[in-house]
A = this chain, B = another copy of it.
């Protein structure tokens, strides 16, 4: 991935529909092929390809959990777990712009209060998008 755009690098690693849904389920605790397959209603051949891709991208790790017969499961790596904030922000977008019906809710387990995910700039403390941003594009080499 040679692009200087860090957004494109991320999208290349996990930014397609099935990958995002598989990662959502992995963050929800799924590890096994059959769990992903049943929950997503995804064709086994497609699931096999996506799990291989996500493993190659270093978002999932394939781990043998049983030897006879051999069975593997897929565990999130630290890079995969780092997608939780992104998916929680997508959830917040869905709740805001695609409301209707009973939705899955996410509570802070300790307080029982519903999460209100928001992206801020750690430096200023302000929500992203409330202050002008300047984009610096590196000059092409050579």
Contact = CB atoms under 8 A, between A and B. Distances in A.
Interface stretch (A30-38, A65-73, A111-119): A111-119
State the number of copies, please. 2
Interface string A101-123: 11111111111111111111111
Interface in A59-99: 79, 81-98
A115 B91 contact: no
A120 B73 CA distance: 30
Given A85-B89, A107-B135, 4 more contacts: A11-B20, A12-B17, A84-B128, A118-B120
Interface of A: 1-2, 4-13, 15-17, 20-21, 24, 28, 58, 79, 81-98, 101-124, 127-129, 131-139
